[in-house]
């Protein structure tokens, strides 16, 4: 029996869809999620004032994503509906990050296998516990795979390089200011400048807050927090202070990546 014209094996179709999704996600800018002593920190370069890559889902649960904004926004809204319905029908404590991650994994996997086009998204669902041992960070890829991350997660853009820099700098029980410094150092490539405050999206899940744990850090509050981080040299041509041994340390730079227009990767 002859093969029909234009036939492609299921394996080839899956590979093509996976490559398509990876390329779209890599065009966005990276997002970093990491634990600190009082909860979980989210940091993302994002010049847009209208479109968020980091959001609240429920009392203790946060959401971060990279890729096509319109696609991960649908996932976010679906997660909010799931959380509201289950919290109202049963109990607010029955809404968990694991349950939400399983929901997203099911939806992403179904779309990847059944649709012609896979979603160009990668998602993190994070839940803050009563103690650090109760914190959870779940990273979900475009095909529905779930990774239970420990301590930190990076996705989008140059994710492997960002994760490598995170691994070098991350330590347990950091203060919020130290965690922010680690996140910014990981999000920047050696030899360039960090994003200005106005182009950073920063939020936390703070276990010490009453009821809703999610809090955005913006404006003066974020500037005060950044002022507590170690000072960075303004340019590579400036000499380092005497305590550094006289060696100039070039500042890092943000990874390249296209930013949103509502449909392009964010």
Kindly tell me if the per-residue pLDDT of 230 is higher than 80: no
* CA separation for the pair 153, 136 (Å, rounded): 11
Residue 106's pLDDT is 96
The H or E element spanning position 162 is helix 159-169
Tell me whether residue 255 is in a domain.
Answer: no
Tell me whether residue 124 is in a domain.
Answer: yes
Task: Read off the pLDDT band of 240 (50, 70, 90).
Answer: very low
Q: 133 lies in which domain range?
A: 24-228
Kindly tell me if the per-residue pLDDT of 167 is higher than 80: yes
- Residue 103 contacts by C-beta under 8 Å, 6 or more apart in sequence? 78, 79, 82
Say which CATH number the domain at 118 has: 3.60.20.10
* CA separation for the pair 40, 180 (Å, rounded): 11
- Residue 266 contacts by C-beta under 8 Å, 6 or more apart in sequence? 28, 29, 46, 48, 51, 53, 66, 67, 68, 69, 72, 259, 260
- If one compares 155 and 8, the residue with the highest pLDDT of the two is 155
The H or E element spanning position 121 is strand 121-127
Tell me whether residue 163 is in a domain.
Answer: yes
- If one compares 233 and 62, the residue with the highest pLDDT of the two is 62
pLDDT tens per residue, range 183-208: 999 999 887 788 888 899 999 999 99
Residue 256's pLDDT is 37
Tell me whether residue 190 is in a domain.
Answer: yes
Residue 6's pLDDT is 65
Kindly tell me if the per-residue pLDDT of 264 is higher than 70: no
Tell me whether residue 202 is in a domain.
Answer: yes
pLDDT tens per residue, range 68-114: 999 999 999 999 999 999 999 999 999 999 999 999 999 999 999 99
This prediction's pTM: 0.83
What DSSP line would sit under 49-64, residue for residue? SS--SEEEEETTEEEE
pLDDT tens per residue, range 28-82: 899 999 999 999 999 999 988 889 999 999 999 999 999 999 999 999 999 999 9
Tell me whether residue 201 is in a domain.
Answer: yes
Residue 9's pLDDT is 87
SS3 189: strand
Hey, what are 246's tokens?
């006289």
Domains: count for the chain: 1
Tell me whether residue 263 is in a domain.
Answer: no
Which residue in the block uniquely carries the two structure tokens 């990767």? 265
Hey, what are 179's tokens?
């965690």
Residue 161's pLDDT is 94
Tell me whether residue 3 is in a domain.
Answer: no
């Amino acid at each position: 029996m002859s093969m029909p014209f234009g036939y492609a094996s299921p394996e080839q179709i899956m590979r093509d869809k996976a490559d398509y999704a990876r390329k779209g996600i890599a065009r966005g800018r990276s997002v970093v999620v990491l634990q600190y002593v009082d909860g979980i920190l989210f940091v993302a370069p994002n010049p847009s004032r209208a479109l968020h890559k980091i959001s609240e889902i429920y009392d203790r649960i946060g959401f971060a994503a990279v890729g096509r904004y319109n696609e991960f926004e649908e996932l976010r809204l679906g997660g909010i509906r799931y959380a509201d319905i289950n919290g109202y029908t049963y109990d607010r404590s029955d809404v968990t990050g694991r349950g939400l991650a399983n929901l997203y994994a099911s939806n992403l996997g179904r779309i990847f296998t059944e649709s012609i086009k896979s979603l160009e998204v990668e998602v993190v669902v994070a839940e803050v516990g009563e103690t650090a041992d109760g914190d959870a960070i779940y990273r979900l890829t475009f095909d529905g795979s779930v990774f239970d991350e420990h301590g930190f997660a990076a996705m989008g853009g140059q994710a492997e390089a960002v994760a490598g820099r995170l691994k070098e700098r991350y330590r347990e029980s950091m203060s919020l200011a130290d965690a922010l410094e680690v996140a910014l150092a990981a999000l920047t490539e050696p030899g360039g400048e960090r994003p200005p405050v106005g182009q950073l999206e920063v939020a936390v899940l703070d276990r010490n807050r009453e009821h809703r744990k999610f809090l955005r850090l913006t404006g003066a509050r974020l500037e005060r927090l950044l002022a507590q981080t170690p000072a960075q040299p303004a340019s590579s041509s400036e000499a380092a202070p005497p305590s550094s041994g006289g060696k100039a340390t070039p500042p890092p730079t943000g990874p390249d990546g296209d930013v949103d227009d509502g449909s392009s990767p964010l």
